Amino acid sequence: MNARTFTHLDALESESIHIMREVAADCKNPALLFSGGKDSIVMLRLAEKAFRPAKFPFPLVHIDTEHNFPEVIACREKLAADLGERLIVRSLEDSIRRGSIVIKNPDLPRNPYQSVTLLETIAEFGFDACLGGARRDEEKARAKERIFSFRDEFGQWDPKSQRPELWDIYNTRVHHGENIRVFPISNWTEMDIWQYIGREKLHIPSIYYAHEREVIRRGNNVIPVSRLVQPKPGEKVEIISVRFRTVGDMTCTAPVESIARTVDEIIEETATTRITERGATRMDDQTSDASMELRKKEGYF
Amino acid sequence: MKIENLSSLETETMSNTTQLLRFITAGSVDDGKSTLIGRLLHDSKSIFEDQFTAISKTSERRGMEKVDLSLLTDGLQAEREQGITIDVAYRYFATPLRKFIIGDTPGHEQYTRNMVTAASTANLVVILIDARKGMLTQTRRHTFLASLVGVPHIVLAVNKMDMVDYSEDTFNAIVAEYRAFAAQLGIHDVTCIPMSALNGDMVVEHGTNLSWYKGAPLLEFLENVVIDYDVNTTDFRFPVQWVCRPQTQEYHDFRGFSGRIESGGIAVGDEITVLPSGRSSKVKEIVTYDGNLQRAYAPQSVTLTLADEIDISRGDLFVHGGAQPQVAKEFEAMLCWLSETPLDLNRKYIIKHTTRTVKCHFSRLEYRVDVNTLAHHQASALNMNDIARVVMKVQQPLAFDHYNKNRATGSFIVIDEASNNTVAAGMIA
Ligand SMILES: Nc1nc2c(ncn2[C@@H]2O[C@H](COP(=O)(O)OP(=O)(O)O)[C@@H](O)[C@H]2O)c(=O)[nH]1
């Protein structure tokens, strides 16, 4: 390999591996936050590249909203088993039972509460660093976040007092009780992720590919019918070909109409699509231009 | 990112040839940085419909006639309220030729530290000038900082040409003055482009107003500038990040040294020296997840196994033949102070240099540089945004190169042990 055949994906991959190894070497008790989505599946491959032939120097942690698509949970179990790595699952239901999360209606979107269970899990295991698969191209607030993003005791992010990040020398130091969120794929875009999934032939939940699904239309949104979302009186159920661009909470993750059944076809669609990933698929982020930023400050990833 | 009308075949060839270019923009407030970035994103079709709708609505609400493209790079809520950018934000876009990462740095008076931060990972800096105003103090400062941080390529964007009737003479006069100044700093690789970010002339398209200019528009230049030699390609430097010991049956005796090749290359069988200890061995295997390699080059991340069992840990540096790093406990460096808390000469700090973390103190301040006049002044203190030459002592020897020979082994950060904050950036010189 010489400079000429070193592609942008190779460059991004090497950067991400470097970041993961820094975390493993410098942090006392790291964890990899795993959602079952495509970004965290890319993270797993990067961890394999960083640490094989040894095991990962951290467990995988999933904060389960219990609002996940069944295909995602199936994929999570398969991946953890195939990799032979330790998987810790903590559920929002536990926090609800403990009373640390109070919800009005169990069927409403749960993303806002994820941070509570995450913080409880961090405290339970004493994690000082959590690797996450967030990308800077997802949302304006993320564009300013560091790769090593420092959180105070309450899990809060203060955009005004971020540590300067120079070259690729990362400051990993924290005081007791504080922790850092680390985003090794900060510099990847949705297109990079798809190209990498294609190149590495990664196994991802089937709902990322086009499939026939029952949906209802509310306003501009196409909403998947599920055990949590049933048509209201007067709403019509349609069966159309869709795929998901992100796979979050079933009640607020909208699919896009698509016939792309392979990674190549998705790449082609991604190359010509006119809507950002979040704009297309997360109903809860549309409420306010700054809603993600508020949630990050509260400790959401 | 998005590219229109590519067949999947073309997309595939793209991913096999596209490189990554990181660049930053620097200019004074209102020179048109945000408009320029917005224009680049818009004209290269990297703006999505929902983003465009959001900024159109905001423009309308603010009573503007046209869509204000500068709103695209607006970041955080607090800043939106203040109406200014106060930090470094990263944007992404791609063309069939390259993927780009833009570090968006503010033009505000006080933010030397942000520019240094963003410049530290950049291949290229676009320095903006308002054609009506010509070279300003800030232009000198930004150019000095770019040269201090060793950004390999500089583009001078003479913006708002529409406000000076697209005058070639005005452009030439600014360019002459700039080149003379840059030469003083030893910078010769400057590309000067006249443009109107507002109207789009010479950003992505040539436009019709600047037909006297024979060079390429900004985007075409960014797509084609050669960046292969931005890293040192001759001197092998491999800081050990992580010792890989699987301790499984299959890999019982496996002991690999994982890290990223920061410069140069290495082949199986090559002799390496481990610094600072000075012991030597030969490379037995170059291990990657995708199979063993015969050779590897910067910036690949790999795992090396060696022919001999020698004591090696994180923070050691592997080198091979050619120019050797210095190994010392004292060195001089240019320092950019980043913290609101001033330097305390009586305190010990920590420095992180490659993958090695050691205690240090500052034994002397040689001088402080006035970033506007480049004059040297005596200094007894360092405050945020100050640049100074210092003499540092470290508790254990470091293996380093001069920053201008090797960015990776010549740079370090200073950490305050009490607050754990990153308080300074250093370049060994
Ligand atoms: N006439 C003219 N105005 C421009 C041009 N580029 C930017 N502007 C205007 O200059 C002002 C400041 O631009 P902005 O991009 O916000 O500057 P920044 O502070 O450097 O980000 C805005 O009113 C822009 O519309 C240009 O090429 N020509």
In a mutational test of the B interface, the residue from A169, A178, A263, A272 whose CB has the highest number of chain B CBs within 10 Å is A169
Which residue does chain B place closest to A189, by CA atoms? B1
- Chain A positions touching B251 (Cβ under 8 A) are 53-54
Q: What is the mean pLDDT of residues B22-34?
A: 88
- The interface predicted TM-score (ipTM) is 0.87
First to last CA, chain A: 37
Cβ A160 vs Cβ A72: under 8 Å: no
Whether B26 has a pLDDT exceeding 50, the answer reads yes
- Chain A positions touching B246 (Cβ under 8 A) are 53-55
What's the pLDDT at B9? 35
Question: CA-based angle B337:B341:B345, to the nearest 5?
Answer: 70
pLDDT confidence tier of residue B72, bands split at 50, 70 and 90:
low
Whole-angstrom CA distances from B198 to A4, A191, B346 are: 36, 29, 51
Q: What is the pLDDT of residues A68-86, one digit of tens each?
A: 888 899 999 899 899 999 9
Question: Taking CB atoms and an 8 Å limit, are B420 and A175 in contact across chains?
Answer: yes
> In this structure, which residue's CA is closest to atom 9 in ligand 1?
B32
d(CA B124, CA B146): 9
Q: What is the pLDDT of residues B348-385, one digit of tens each?
A: 999 999 999 999 999 999 999 998 888 999 998 899 88
> In this structure, which residue's CA is closest to atom 1 in ligand 1?
B160
Q: Give the global pTM.
A: 0.88
Domain A7-192+290-297 has CATH 3.90.660.10: no
Q: Would you give the DSSP letter of residue B56?
A: H
What's the B29 CA to ligand 1 centre distance in angstroms? 9
Give the minimum alpha-carbon distance from B78 to chain A in angstroms, rounded to a whole number.
9
Minimal CA–CA distance to B93: which of B84, B101, B81, B83? B101
Question: CB contact, 8 Å: A151 with chain B?
Answer: no
pLDDT confidence tier of residue A277, bands split at 50, 70 and 90:
low
Q: Which atom of ligand 1 is least distant from the CA of B70?
A: 15
- Chain B positions touching A49 (Cβ under 8 A) are 288-290, 301
Look up residue B360 and give its two tokens. Answer: 């240090």
- Chain A positions touching B49 (Cβ under 8 A) are 274-275, 279
d(CA A80, CA A61): 10
Q: Which residues 238-267 of A are in CB contact (within 8 Å) with B?
A: 264-265, 267
What's the B58 CA to ligand 1 centre distance in angstroms? 17
Minimal CA–CA distance to A43: which of A28, A27, A56? A56
Q: How many CB pairs under 8 A join A and B?
A: 213
Whether A3 has a pLDDT exceeding 50, the answer reads no
Q: What is the pLDDT of residues B95-146, one digit of tens each?
A: 888 999 998 876 565 578 888 888 999 999 999 999 999 999 889 989 999 9
Element (H, E) at A104: none
Question: Taking CB atoms and an 8 Å limit, are A164 and B113 in contact across chains?
Answer: yes
Q: Is B34 in the pocket of ligand 1 (CB under 6 A)?
A: yes
What's the B160 CA to ligand 1 centre distance in angstroms? 8
What's the B66 CA to ligand 1 centre distance in angstroms? 13
- Chain A positions touching B117 (Cβ under 8 A) are 164-166
Domains of chain B as residue ranges with CATH: 18-230 (3.40.50.300), 232-320 (2.40.30.10), 326-428 (2.40.30.10)
Cβ A96 vs Cβ A119: under 8 Å: no
Question: Per-domain residue ranges for chain A?
Answer: 7-192+290-297, 205-286
Give the minimum alpha-carbon distance from A267 to chain B in angstroms, rounded to a whole number.
7
Cα Rg for chain A, rounded, in angstroms?
19
More confident residue, B392 or B42: B392
Give the minimum alpha-carbon distance from A115 to chain B in angstroms, rounded to a whole number.
20
